[in-house]
Amino acid sequence: MRETRIRLGEVEIACSIGGAGPPVLLLHGFPQNRAMWGPVAAQLADRFTVVAADLRGYGASDVPGQDAPQDCAGYSFRAMGQDQLALMERLGFATFHLVGHDRGARVAHRMALDAPERIVSLTLMDIVPTELLLSRLSHQVARSYYHWFFLAQPHPFPETLIKADPDYYFESCLLGWGGARLEDFDANALAAYRAAWRRPEVIFGMCQDYRATLQHDLALDTADLGRRVACPALVLYGAQGAMAQAYDIPATWADRLARMQAASVPGGHFFPDTAPEATAEALLGFLA
């Protein structure tokens, strides 16, 4: 994979590009970066041109807004999706397959709503709709996903606490939501995660992402209730994950995705990390 950073307006977005064939954009989740896709991308690259990108505020992408932390609008799923649409256009891909895990899946859903003409297919990994999760929040989900509300607290409260020991905090996230172990994660990917989340600006960027969900994304998604994504869509989820324990995940998407397939993958929330072969097999079967 070729590593590069591409200037797109106010931000530079870091990405990895490789393979040949129809384009596929891979978007990571929290608290990771594009390194999570390494083993999966290697299997896709035989048949597809694979682009794995860091969301703004994550990994090696720029972290805008540090001089105005009270304004998190630049970290809405819409703003982050506009980065990725511009990235694919700059790379010469007018249309493409779109795959997202966790926060990347939420960005991907917003992209499919905002620019449906650009998205050939949509794959959402281990999420339920943002509006549904927040508007019908249960005690069970609040306990598992407490970080949504911790990270959304005003700057610099969560950043200050996390900076005391970022490895401890973010590794506790990796080991939750479905019971993974550190040794289940690819060593190179784990090293890339640690290198990124130890940077104070990346901690800030991730917090801004969650602040924007409460301040902007919930309203945007509520306004779009009733709209359905028309392109073929695949919903993948971890069979032992926190979301699968709390929801019938395919049912939460049934009225939002017009042409949906759904399947589970062994593991918890981080199954693309812990079960990359099964994840790639599911993706190849769908994308083909």
DSSP per-residue codes, 82-139:
HHHHHHHHHTT-SSEEEEEETHHHHHHHHHHHH-GGGEEEEEEES---HHHHHHT--H
CA 28/CA 2 separation, integer angstroms: 17
What token pair was written down for 103? 């926060």
Q: What is the DSSP letter of 71?
A: -
Residues 6+ apart with CB under 8 A from 86: 8, 9
CA 288/CA 280 separation, integer angstroms: 12
Q: What is the DSSP letter of 225?
A: T
What token pair was written down for 266? 């062994």
Instruction: Answer for the pair 56, 79: CB distance below 8 angstroms, yes or no.
Output: yes
Residue numbers annotated as active site: 102, 269
Q: Quote the distance between the C-alpha of residue 158 and its chain's center.
A: 21
User: What ranges make up the beta strands (E) of the chain?
Assistant: 2-8, 11-19, 23-27, 49-53, 96-101, 119-125, 229-238, 257-265
- The residue type at 54: D
Instruction: Answer for the pair 176, 241: CB distance below 8 angstroms, yes or no.
Output: no
